[in-house]
Structure 1
């Protein structure tokens, strides 16, 4: 499977390319964000798929923003 995707990968930029540098930091900070969002969405009377989409979009956005903010602290870029 990996060989297939490596062979047929499109060249050029992707919409997710700007996120590549922050991927590890997003991985590190996303868990508390997901927990907080799920707790916050628990009392809303929405279908589960809507809650999942809202949690996903907000988790990606907040994780990316918090990682970008953390990377501005001197020395943190060596870890993130």
Structure 2
């Protein structure tokens, strides 16, 4: 369930997309983190960090497309960029 459905509001201190940094922050007693489920199953998860699967929550993530500036990219890559930017 979403936080609002439970009349709760999370206290978000920071957001970070670097999984390694998130693990270090949790290991340093900084707090807790919501991470992709694939991380929970990954062998590099330190043994001293507890992980549980969150059930029944509609999670979404923002995405972006990146590439090197001023560098040649293939026609296929250009077509892919055009496909993604024209579907908004």
Common topology (TM > 0.5): no
The normalised TM-score by structure 1 is 0.25
The normalised TM-score by structure 2 is 0.23
Structure showing greater relative contact order (alpha-carbon pairs closer than 8 Å, 6 or more residues apart): 1
